[in-house]
Amino acid sequence: MEKDSDRKEDLEDEEGEEEGEEEEEEEEKKTISNSDIKRDERKTDMGKVMTVIHEESKKSILDYGKTAAKKYKFEELEPTHRPIFSLKTSTVKTEERFKMSAQEYLDHFKIATILQDTFKTILDRREENARDLFIQYLEATLNGEHILLREHAFVNATPLNRKCFLQQVRKVFHCTPCYKIVTGLDYLQLLTLICSDFPKSLMIEAVKVINVADTKLPSTKAMEDLLFEKYELFDLQCSICIFFYFHEFMEGIKTIFQDAQLNSASLDLDEECSVITIYTAACNFIRRGNLNKCPYPSFENVLEAIIHDTDLEERLSSEPLVLADDIVPDLTGKISYRKFCAGMYRNKHLILSIYKPIVSKSLLEKRKLHESSKRKETGSKKDDIKRTKTKG
């Protein structure tokens, strides 16, 4: 009997221990579940915080994108008035182009230079399909990419190549919050990534006429020392645009100002000359120039540069239509070479005309769709021919 009672006590003790263990396990499960719930709550809270941060950063990026786009759309450029009206509209220019003879058309658009470079590329890569190479080269030309990593002589050879180069520079290098101010030397090194032998002299000419970023005044340094000054990237880009694309014209204007400054052996950037003298000489220079060899700005562009930052420009801001012939009699006063250059590179109509794409993206997309549909049709026809042959 004693043994039976001892066994019962042992069993009761074991059951009590098991119940205690079960209670401990339940408590542990509860604590674990509570900690999991808290962890999940923390995760959700952190997730909400991260989404808020992400949305705010996304919003700030979008806001900067909008402001950068505004800057990139040249809305801050001048003149604020309507562009001086040209009697030669785009339709008239198109008609003139269609009236050209075959040789005039080839000379005007430098087709021979493009074809020579195309055939040179094909000969250098003889092992590849010549037809495919020819198509690839023409597509690259339409996209403005044929001038990438080419020497300055080729980039400078035609107005088309110059325009393509500036468009590629605009795509690659643009303003960011951390990249609004840059030295002339740094920007020159960036340009050499696209054109390895881009001339330093052209960069010096471009930075001569723009203000330093810190002081908003012209630099007192000379020649290569100017490249170590800091400039606003946007102004530097626009100045390079004018001095590179209209290189021959700007060299001519430089000579005109130097000739007008009778007492100076070299060009004084800030010495003022008669406005009407400069305008007349510039127009004569454009008339004498060979438009087939290099690009020149129109007479209207020259007028806009001359009246830049003057009382006449303010008066024209309220006019619905401005004709060049109406402005010439009002050209009075004096202008310096620096002011004229500022009028050129701050003219949004002129800069946008240079950055205007060669072929619109919609036309290129239509062409690609047309080619893909053609390939599908030719492929289906080939399949039909194969089927008929196998049946026969």
Residues 260 and 275 in one domain: yes
DSSP 268: -
| Inside any domain, residue 44 | no
- Mean of pLDDT values over 168-195: 85
- Mean of pLDDT values over 148-166: 93
| Inside any domain, residue 71 | no
Q: For residue 53, give both structure tokens.
A: 């941060």
Residues 251 and 353 in one domain: yes
Q: CA 320 from chain center: how many Å?
A: 31
User: On the CB side of 204, how many CA atoms lie within 13 Å of its CA?
Assistant: 9
Is 80 exceeded by the pLDDT of residue 317? Answer: no
Which domain range does residue 343 map to?
247-357
Is 50 exceeded by the pLDDT of residue 183? Answer: yes
d(CA 385, CA 371): 21
- Mean of pLDDT values over 157-174: 89
| Inside any domain, residue 291 | yes
Residues 260 and 350 in one domain: yes
Q: Single out the residue in 205, 228, 245 at which a domain terminates.
A: 245
Residues 313 and 296 in one domain: yes
Place 206 in a pLDDT band, splitting at 50, 70 and 90.
Answer: very high
Provide the residue count of the chain: 392
Is 50 exceeded by the pLDDT of residue 336? Answer: yes
**Of all residues in the chain, what percent carry a pLDDT higher than 90?**
28
Its pTM stands at 0.72
pLDDT single digits (tens) 76-111: 454 444 566 665 556 666 777 788 888 888 888 888
| Inside any domain, residue 29 | no
d(CA 158, CA 170): 19
If you write DSSP's letter for every residue of 133-186 in order, what string do you get? HHHHHHHHHHTT-TTTT--HHHHTSSHHHHHHHHHHHHHHS--BTTBSEEEHHH
**Number of domains into which the chain is organized:** 2
Place 377 in a pLDDT band, splitting at 50, 70 and 90.
Answer: low
Residues 252 and 215 in one domain: no
Q: Single out the residue in 245, 266, 291 at which a domain terminates.
A: 245
d(CA 46, CA 44): 5
| Kind and range of the H or E run holding 25 | helix 2-72
Residues 218 and 291 in one domain: no
Residues 272 and 190 in one domain: no
Say what the pLDDT of residue 192 is: 93
Higher pLDDT: 153 or 385? It is 153
Place 231 in a pLDDT band, splitting at 50, 70 and 90.
Answer: very high
Say what the pLDDT of residue 42 is: 55
Return the top range by mean pLDDT from 23-27, 40-44, 362-366. 362-366
Instruction: Find out whether 211 and 269 touch, Cβ atoms under 8 Å.
Output: no
Say what the pLDDT of residue 171 is: 85
Place 157 in a pLDDT band, splitting at 50, 70 and 90.
Answer: very high
Unique residue bearing structure tokens 């400054």: 261
Under the phi-then-psi rule, with left for phi > 0, alpha for psi from -120 to 50, and beta for the rest, what region is 15?
alpha
Place 382 in a pLDDT band, splitting at 50, 70 and 90.
Answer: low
Place 49 in a pLDDT band, splitting at 50, 70 and 90.
Answer: very low
Say what the pLDDT of residue 379 is: 59
| Inside any domain, residue 212 | yes
Higher pLDDT: 173 or 163? It is 163
d(CA 273, CA 261): 7
Residues 163 and 254 in one domain: no
Higher pLDDT: 306 or 23? It is 306
Is 50 exceeded by the pLDDT of residue 255? Answer: yes
10 Å Cβ neighbour count for 352?
13
DSSP 84: P
| Inside any domain, residue 89 | no
Mean residue pLDDT across the chain: 77
Residues 270 and 219 in one domain: no
Place 238 in a pLDDT band, splitting at 50, 70 and 90.
Answer: very high
d(CA 89, CA 96): 11
CA angle 268, 274, 280 (to 5 degrees): 110
Q: For residue 341, give both structure tokens.
A: 């250059």
Place 368 in a pLDDT band, splitting at 50, 70 and 90.
Answer: low
| Inside any domain, residue 271 | yes
Place 1 in a pLDDT band, splitting at 50, 70 and 90.
Answer: very low
d(CA 2, CA 8): 10
Residues 276 and 237 in one domain: no
Residues 176 and 196 in one domain: yes
| Inside any domain, residue 14 | no
Residues 149 and 235 in one domain: yes
Q: Single out the residue in 210, 245, 280 at which a domain terminates.
A: 245
Give the 3-state secondary structure of residue 8.
helix
